[in-house]
Structure 1
Amino acid sequence: MRAVRFDAFGGPDVLRVVELPEPHAGPGEVRIRVRAATVNPTDLLTRSGVRGKVTRDVRLPYTLGMEAAGEVDEAGDGVDLAVGDRVMALTLPFGPHGGAYAEHVVVPRGQVATVPAGMSAAEAATIPMNGLTAMLAVEALPTTAGAWVGVTGAAGCVGGYAVQLAVAAGLRVAADAAPADEPLVRSLGAHAVVERGDDVAAGFRTVAPDGLVGLVDASTQQGRLVPALAGGGTLVLLRAWDSASAAGDRRFDESGGSQRPAAPASEASALGGVPGREIRSRFVTVVEALDRPELLVRLRDLAERGVLTPRVATTLPAAQAPEAHRLVAGGGVRGRVVLTF
């Protein structure tokens, strides 16, 4: 089979198409004939060597890709899917079968769901990793109906999904966006849009003067967002505070200006502030969804109902993976770049 992989860390040009032996599905697994695989920012971090140096889980040569869509073409014992079923899957590049940048990928049944009715493979491929990340983030927010929550990076894929899922949960959503992206973000359901930039926390406070009860940071603004939160509010982080350190929560002063490691990332912890103004943080990662296969099915159902809309920026043949990485690195992409096989 063809696969896109790299055997040395570096820029986009380290990616190359190679021929590999076809994998086979074991008990409880399915093999997918991949038609589409998304290019996510984490792929760029891994390829460049940043993620490999942090987590020590990258063994070269390496096949990237955390989500894919295609058809089942081999099913192991105990699997309730049939050859030919159209599916989407969360894939783990650091696992035994490698990532989704390949014509075939093997995944456990629990990481697979059928494609939403009427959706193309490219559209469906944007849902598993991005959608699960957004769902976990929204789950971490306070759930008081009608409360104001915030989302940064709302014009992007994960942020946009977070807006839609928070609105569906009955929350009022304030999102940041550049002026050119405001129509897009409002079309996703945001009740208020504030201009992104250094004063974004003040912008959120104009919408919710008493502070947001929760905020999903999909654009890695981190400490500057703390002043936007009400006492007892929750800041949901989608990336470790410092990409060069182990994941962990942080404590802040009122302005968000000082940080120090706190509790493990998997736990909510208090963030410092003025007396009586406790802020909590939660770092979420898609790996948390591995033991919750029902979440991907729920996303599928939401997509079929139109609650979640796929975000495809453009598609490129797999052989153009270096160009796809350059597009993502250049910024301004609204949705996901998708590789096709």
Structure 2
Amino acid sequence: MRAVGVTEFGGPEALHVVDVPPEPLGPGQVRLRVQAAAISPTDTHLRSGAYAGRDPVKTPPWVPGMDVAGVVTEVGEGVDHLTVRDTAMGIVLPFGSHGAYREDKVLPGDSVVRAPEGADAVAACTLPMNGLTARLALDLIGLSAGQVLAVTGAAGAFGGYVVQLAKADGLTVVADASEADEQLVRDLGADVVVRRGDDVADRVREHFPDGVDGLADGSVQDALVLPAVKDGGAVATVRGYRGDGQRGLRVHPTLVRRVAEDRPALDRLRRQAEEGVLTLRVARTFPAEEAAEAHRVLERGGVRGRLVLTF
């Protein structure tokens, strides 16, 4: 079974095609013939060995990837929401050789739903991980319609979904952007756009002097952005930051593994993509054999939309 992974942790050049055994299918599981796998910063961290200490598998190869889409080829006992030949998308929690960068993937049935109508596998694979993370972030922040949410990293995949989902929830959104990305972020639905940077909290306060009700920190600025939020407000972070304990701020690390088998949430994202609430953004595709170059492109920065490996 062909996959793309590493046998030694390192830079992008460590990625290469590897042979892995097929995964057995059990009750409640789904097998996909993978057509596309999206690339995320989490994949580059796995490739470099940042997560080696927490991986239960200590022998190579290690296969990255958290987003996958393709054709259902087999369903286990108890799976009734998918049938063979459906185009489907799913979220993967990678360990050992069991990441998304492989041509055949078995997943829990509750981690897989049909692809949005009209979307091919390349577009569909951009939604599960970032979409579920964005939805979880908003649920943790817990704002009500009419309240104000700030979003950093709004031009990115996670931040863009937060903006669109927040608007669908009836929130007022203030988001950051570079000059080049300002129109993109406005098109995503932001009500107010401020210039990105280390002083983004000050720029948010210029528009909302009392501070915003909540903030989703997609740019991973951690303590730098906390001053944008009013006392007692809520913050969602994406790399484990837990705040400084001051001003009664409620800081929520957003760990997508908590919702990796929340099929209703994933299916709701599918429907919102079909309704045009969410935009599936593909920046560029690469054959799986060119995964190293795809990682180089991602790590150079400035990518808008998702890079996708095709199988």
Normalising TM by the smaller chain, what interval?
Answer: over 0.9
1:36-75 to 2 correspondences below 5 Å: 36-53=36-53, 55-57=54-56, 59=58, 60-75=60-75
- Tell whether the 8 Å contact from 1:132 to 1:296 is kept in structure 2 after alignment: yes
Q: How well do the aligned residues superpose, as a CA RMSD in angstroms?
A: 1.3
Deviations 1:162-210 (A, max 9, x none): 0000010000000011010000000000001100112100011112111
Matched, 1:202 2:202: yes
- From 243, 247, 256, give the equivalent of 1:250: 243
Shift of 1:25: 1.6
2:92, 2:260 within 8 Å by CA — same for their partners in 1?
A: no
Specify the alignment match of 2:233 in structure 1. Answer: 233
Residue 178 of structure 1 aligns with an amino acid whose one-letter code is S
**Which structure 2 residue ranges, 5 or more long, are not aligned?**
none
Secondary structure at 1:140's aligned position in 2? helix
> Corresponding residue for 2:78?
78
Q: CA deviation at 1:21?
A: 3.0
- Residue 94 of structure 2 corresponds to which residue in structure 1? 93
CA 1:92/1:142 → structure 2, altered by over 3 Å: closer, same or farther?
Answer: closer
Q: Report what 1:266 is aligned to.
A: none
Indicate if the aligned counterparts of 2:108 and 2:261 stay in contact, CA closer than 8 A: no
Whole-Å separation in 2 of the counterparts to 1:40 and 1:132: 14
Q: CA deviation at 1:291?
A: 4.5
Residue 28 of structure 2: aligned partner: 28
Q: Which residue of 1 aligns with 2:131?
A: 131
Shift of 1:147: 1.4
Give the letter for the 1:306 counterpart: G
* 1:81-129 superposed Cα distances (whole Å, 9 cap, x missing partner): 211011000111127x701101100001000000000001111001110
Q: CA deviation at 1:26?
A: 1.3
Shift of 1:3: 0.5
Structure 1 residue 331 corresponds to structure 2 residue 288: no
> What amino acid sits opposite 2:144 in the alignment?
T
1:272 match: 246
| Aligned counterpart, 2:260 | 290
Where in structure 2 are the equivalents of 1:93-132 lying within 5 Å?
93-94=94-95, 98-132=98-132
In 2, the alpha carbon distance for the partners of 1:83 and 1:210 equals 54
Once residues 311 and 98 of structure 1 are traced to their aligned partners in structure 2, the CA distance between those partners, rounded to angstroms, is: 25
1:12 aligns with 2:20: no
- Displacement, 1:77? 1.4
Specify the SS of the correspondent of 2:260: helix
More divergent stretch after superposition (33-42 vs 290-299) = 290-299
Q: Partners of 1:31 and 1:134 in 2: how far apart? A: 26
Aligned to 1:302: 272
Is the CA contact 2:29–2:75 (under 8 Å) kept in the aligned structure 1? yes
Q: Is the Cα–Cα contact under 8 Å of residues 212 and 233 in structure 1 kept in the other structure?
A: yes
Q: Give SS of 1:27's match.
A: coil
Count of paired positions: 309
- Indicate conservation of the 8 Å contact 1:142/1:213, yes or no: no
Alpha-carbon distance, 1:290 to partner: 3.0
Shift, 1:339, TM fit:
0.2
Q: TM-score, normalised by structure 2?
A: 0.96
Q: Of 279, 282, 285, which aligns to 1:315?
A: 285
Contact 1:318 1:339 in 2 (8 A): yes
- 1:218 matched to 2:211: no
Bigger shift: 135-144 or 302-311? 135-144
Aligned-pair identity (%): 50
Change (3 A) 1:209 1:48: same
- CA shift, 1:57, in A, is 4.4
Aligned partners of 2:222 and 2:243 also within 8 Å: no
2:240·2:254 contact (CA, 8 Å) conserved in 1? no
SS in 1 for 2:214: strand
